[in-house]
Amino acid sequence: MVWRCFQCGDSYDDRPAFCAGCGQTGSVYQLGRRARAEIDGALEIATAADLVRQADHVEQLAGCPGVMVGGQALVVLAGPPGSGKSSLATRILDGTPGPVMYVSVEEAPGPSLGQRLARLGVRRPDFFVIGWGDADQVAAVLRQRRCVAVAIDSVQVAHWHARELRHLLAVLPSLRLIVAVSQVNKKGEIAGTNELLHEADVALEVVDLQARLVKTRFSPVQGESNDKPVVFPVLLPVLPSALPSDEVRLQGATVRQLRVVRNALVSSGSQPHRDASLPEPPVGADRG
Ligand SMILES: [Zn+2]
């Protein structure tokens, strides 16, 4: 068995307590294939009418301005740890009407996952979260709950391979969208990423909370420009009216702190960056 760090890409024969390459704990996962599951043997069957309808239908992917998807789509989000892939996957699911499922194997369902959901404003009762589960358990819940979309975070840690994801779309009638969250480390691509990008209908590269469209099989709707790159922030702005009152107070405190820092810089003679969103310093302050 081979173990690999998804932060730095170092490999180990046995599971280390922490990664000697980058010093991280909890970043090392086991490479390999998952055990064969019953779902793998399910027959892929469709009608010509279904397939044509899926090919004809194109709509915007939730939470991703300028990104189109068809009636069925495998969407890959690839990027280094902490880049915002999980937040984007959450947003895509939350913007998709109908029961959805988040398979969170890198981060077990618990307080920190709860905080992320709260921060992103996700409170839907039909947004299911699954922790560790094998392929048949995941498929069974997707079927029972008639989920229309599932995100798997990450496919490397959950041991889902590209063709198995495509198979899931083919055998679960309600499922229209799979969001495959894929780790990429600093040494380059990690197990299976090339296969995933090849199999993907849509691939987004996520770096520093910015998403960039790198592959798509679906053209934008007529009249929209085809030549400019599609890039958008993972965390789209939240309107002030949507913020709870304690966050508004926190914002006010932050502005006051920034003003104190700016005044200190001004009086010490260094020139701070102009920021039009900051309130003016009090009358009489030395502008440098
Ligand atoms: Zn490492």
What residue segments make up the domains of the chain, in order of their start?
1-32, 57-234, 236-288
CA of 229 to the centre of ligand 1 (A): 32
Task: Name the percent of the chain lying above pLDDT 90.
Answer: 47
- CA 9 – ligand 1 centroid, Å: 6
Structure tokens at 273: 């960056």
Ligand 1 centroid from CA 27, angstroms: 7
Burial label, 176 (beta-carbon count in 10 A; 0-12, 13-18, 19+): buried
Inter-residue contact 32 to 9 (CB < 8 Å):
no
Residue 214's closest CA among 73, 96, 78, 81?
78
DSSP 126: T
CA–CA dist 177, 72 (Å, integer): 6
Residue 186 CA to ligand 1 centre (angstroms): 10
Question: What is the distance in A from the centroid of ligand 1 to the CA of 23?
Answer: 6
Q: What is the mean pLDDT of the segment spanning 119-137?
A: 92
Give pLDDT tens digits for 169-188: 999 989 999 999 998 876 66
Angstrom CA distances, 96 to 1, 56, 142, 151, 283, stand at 38, 19, 15, 12, 50
Q: Are the C-beta atoms of residues 33 and 48 closer than 8 Å to each other?
A: no
Q: What is the mean pLDDT of the chain?
A: 80
Q: Are 184 and 209 in contact (CB under 8 A)?
A: no
Q: How confident is the model at residue 25 (pLDDT cuts 50, 70, 90)?
A: confident
Distance in Å, CA 83 to ligand 1 centroid: 16
Q: How far is the CA of 184 from the centre of ligand 1 (A)?
A: 12
Burial class (CB in 10 A: 0-12, 13-18, 19+), 130: middle
Structure tokens at 216: 């798509």
Written as one string, the DSSP assignment of 211-227 is EEEEEESSPPPTTS-SS
- Taking the centre of ligand 1 as the mean of its atom positions, its distance from the CA of residue 20, in whole angstroms, is 6
CA distance 259 to 278: 7
Q: What is the dihedral of CA 9, 15, 18, 20, to 10 degrees?
A: -50
**C-alpha 78 to ligand 1 mean position (Å):** 18
pLDDT digits (tens, 9 = 90+) for 206-226: 999 999 999 999 876 555 556
Tell me if 76 sits within 8 A of 180, measured CB to CB.
yes
Strands (E), the chain: 3-5, 11-12, 28-30, 58-60, 68-70, 73-79, 100-104, 127-130, 149-153, 177-185, 188-189, 202-207, 210-216, 231-233
The residue with greater pLDDT, 194 or 78, is: 78
* C-alpha of residue 167 to centroid of ligand 1, in Å: 32
Separation of 6 CA from ligand 1 center, angstroms? 7
**Closest Cα to residue 154, out of 88, 252, 209, 202?**
88
The top-level CATH class assigned to 57-234 is alpha beta
Question: What is the whole-number distance in angstroms between the Cα of residue 4 and the centre of ligand 1?
Answer: 8
CA of 185 to the centre of ligand 1 (A): 9
CA 153 to ligand 1 center in whole angstroms: 19
Euclidean distance between CA atoms 255 and 249, whole angstroms: 10
CA of 77 to the centre of ligand 1 (A): 21
Per-residue pLDDT, 33: 76
Kindly report, residue by residue over 33-75, the tens digit of the pLDDT.
788 889 999 999 989 998 888 888 899 999 999 899 999 999 9
Distance of CA 25 from the midpoint of ligand 1 (Å): 8
Rounded mean pLDDT, 92-116? 93
- Name the token pair of 84: 């915002």
Distance from residue 108's CA to the centre of ligand 1 (Å): 20
- Given this model, what pLDDT does residue 267 score? 41
